[in-house]
Structure 1
Amino acid sequence: MARIARGSRAQRWTAAGPRDPRPEPLAGEEPLEVRLDGEPFTVTMRTPGDDLDLVAGFLVSEGVVAAAAQLRAVAAGAGVTAEGRRDDNVVDVRLGPGAVPPAAASQRHVYVSSSCGICGTASVEAVRKASRHAPDQDPLRVPVDQLLVMPDLLRERQRVFGRTGGTHAAALLRPAVEGAAGSPEVLCVREDVGRHNAVDKVVGWALRQDLLPLAGTVLQVSGRASFELVQKAAMAGVPVLSAVSAPSAAAADLGEETGVTVVGFNRGDRLTVYSRPERVVAGSVP
């Protein structure tokens, strides 16, 4: 679970003036170094917690791995601090058969901020990744009522956001299919100061559970749908990405290209479908 860090005493103001300072809970944000087979790969800013999921999902997004068997081992605390103590902000990954180690030219030699998932990529070509899964072939059809309840199901589980107001969230859900009874099943929820990190944590959880490709699922996010989030969905084989805010033009175009249904402005009583609309069907689940 994402961690809450208490900041220094903060002072709240109203139009009437300041109130007495008091401690305010804040979402944690710390650097995480990722090593591949002992060699430095990247450093990313993230909210500590679910770090092994984050790293596994990040490697799916980078096209390094596509199945659980391709991760031989993922170990936290792989570094040593200047004081000689174990450094929990370092994770080392040992790749297994079938993994595709990144070429030296595409390795990230600078840090990735919590607001940017593709910063530090060495070339424009390296931004685009080819998925080893095929969301465009997924036969999923989702009743619109199933999609409309997903933001609330996510919000109910945003514990860190509820206390700090400072995290994004992502949820992986399996909707009840057209003609079947029931509500969407919430498989996994993760939070982070970076929306791309929250998605990586969800995808990494699924990878470590050996659930990829994520056919028949919906990825619900708390913010907007960016190009990189659509790409992350495609890399994991997710057929539907739903966001409470708008997608970018590049996100909608990539959804059409990769076969991911991109849904935006999903806010309880309405939504807008920007790509592959045939997956969303009228009516409700009995």
Structure 2
Amino acid sequence: MTNAIVHTRVTKVAVESITDTSDILAAEEPLEIRLVHGPSHNRRQQNISVTMRTPGEDMELAAGFLFTEGIISGQDDIQEIILSEDKDDHIATVHLKPGVTAQLGNTARNFTATAACGVCGKTAISDIHTAVSVNDNDIRFSADSLFGLPALLRNEQALFDTTGGLHAAALFDNSGHLLILREDIGRHNAVDKIIGAAMAQHLMPLKNHLLLLSGRAGFELIQKAAMAKIPVIAAIGAPSSMAVKMAAQWNITLLGFLKEQRFNIYSGPERIDFKLNITTHG
């Protein structure tokens, strides 16, 4: 993924030295997502989103975005995805099958998302609560297996090692095996890429899986995971108050501060199997 990095010159300033040297940055470029839908005799093209992302896995990102926004119901809705780019334009055009109806609703579906925000384009508070059904999965993960996940994630973060500036999301099965890892300058993009990849690999719904986030867990990441039926979400950083609230409402197990052989459980403790000598303090 050479297009995911950019070389630049920097001046490094320390207490006793000033050095001119080269550096490597995480690339951040816009991707426009377009949708072609409707019956074969009356196809319609619609601009759906412009998102700032790290180039790479753009088809996964487009498919995952449309799914987590509830616009499509899965991989079977997609006829093809065409990528086109020149010096200034990067476009992913998603063609739906003629018999598929895009669920655009009454919302003004014209998102502009920065790398930091996954819900910036919504026009009303109600729009951020994309319809999610309660997760009824009773899968369990052992605390011991959870302790080892951050190291597995870190060992695979090639782009982070190069740039120090990317978020990662990783999908694990219920045996703790790493299935898919994606990095992006936007944490919500990394999750959309994960879900898009899972769609392409026909793994959906992800009822027996765990999503690991390299940083904090905000509401938009919980919502995206919930759309894919992921029952357990673990974050190396902190969750937000809305993330905790919605994880509880959607019956998702949410873990935070998973690092250094410890973690906090914010919702759904029944899915965590403790085979440890644990002292509980009030």
Mark yes or no: TM-score above 0.5. yes
> Percent of counterpart pairs with the same letter?
37
Structure ranking higher in strand proportion: 2
RMSD of aligned alpha carbons:
1.8
Contact (CA 8 Å) 2:4, 2:56: kept in 1 or not? no
User: What's the counterpart of residue 225 of structure 2?
Assistant: 233
Tell me which amino acid in the other structure corresponds to 2:63.
A
Match of residue 265 from structure 1: 257
Hey, what does 1:137 align to over in structure 2? 136
Partner of 2:33: 34
Distance 1:104 1:42, change over 3 A: farther
Give the distance between the partners of 1:252 and 1:98, measured in 2 at CA: 34
Q: 1:3 to 1:148 in 2, by over 3 A?
A: farther
Query: Aligned ranges for residues 24-103 of structure 1 at < 5 Å?
Result: 24-37=23-36, 38-77=45-84, 87=89, 89-96=90-97, 97-103=99-105
Q: Distance in 2 between matches of 1:152 and 1:2?
A: 25
What is the Cα deviation at residue 104 of structure 1? 5.2
Q: Alpha-carbon deviation of 1:196? A: 0.6
Taking the TM superposition and a 5 Å limit, the aligned residue runs for 1:100-119 are: 100-103=102-105, 105-108=107-110, 110-119=111-120
Residue 12 (structure 2) pairs with residue 5 (structure 1): no
Distance 1:210 1:2 in 2: 28
CA–CA separation in structure 2 for the residues paired with 1:158 and 1:80 = 28
Q: Give the letter aligned to residue 100 of structure 1.
A: A
Matched, 1:149 2:115: no
Structure 1, unaligned runs of 5 or more: 177-183
**Equivalent AA in structure 2 for residue 173 of structure 1:** F
**1:112-191 equivalences in 2 (<5 Å):** 112-131=113-132, 134=134, 136-176=135-175, 184-191=176-183
Q: TM-score, normalised on structure 1?
A: 0.88
For the 8 Å contact 1:245–1:265, the answer to whether it is kept is: yes
Q: Is the 8 A contact 1:142 1:279 kept in 2?
A: yes
Q: What is the SS of the residue equivalent to 1:75?
A: strand
Residue 270 of structure 2: SS of its match in structure 1?
helix
Query: SS of the counterpart of 2:23?
Result: strand
Deviation of the 1:103 alpha carbon: 2.9
Q: CA deviation at 1:13?
A: 1.6
* 1:229 maps to amino acid: L
Query: Structure 1 residue 8: deviation in Å?
Result: 2.5
The CA distance in 1 between the partners of 2:61 and 2:196, in whole Å, is 6
Letter of the 2:65 counterpart: F
Choose 117-126 or 4-13, whichever is displaced more. 4-13
- What's the secondary structure of 1:251's corresponding residue? helix
Query: Kindly tell me: are residues 191 and 273 of structure 1, through their superposed partners in 2, closer, same or farther at Cα, counting changes over 3 Å?
Result: same
> Which 4+ runs in 1 deviate beyond 2 A?
1-8, 79-82, 96-101, 103-106
Q: Indicate the SS of the match to 2:248.
A: helix
2 CA distance for matches of 1:192 and 1:206? 17
Q: Contact 1:113 / 1:119 at 8 angstroms: preserved in 2?
A: yes
- 1:71–1:99 CA contact under 8 A, matched in 2: no
Distance 2:247 2:62 in 1: 24
Deviation at 1:122, TM superposition (A): 1.9
Task: State the Cα distance separating 1:281 from its structure 2 match.
Answer: 1.0
Q: After TM superposition, give the deviation of residue 67 of structure 1 in Å.
A: 1.9
1:98 shift after superposition: 4.8
Letter paired with 2:152: L
Residue by residue over 1:50-74, the C-alpha shift from the partner in whole angstroms, topping out at 9 and shown as x without a partner, is 0011111111110112321011211
Aligned pair count?
A: 267
How far has the Cα of 1:2 moved from its partner?
7.5
**Structure-1 separation of matches of 2:8 and 2:258:** 36
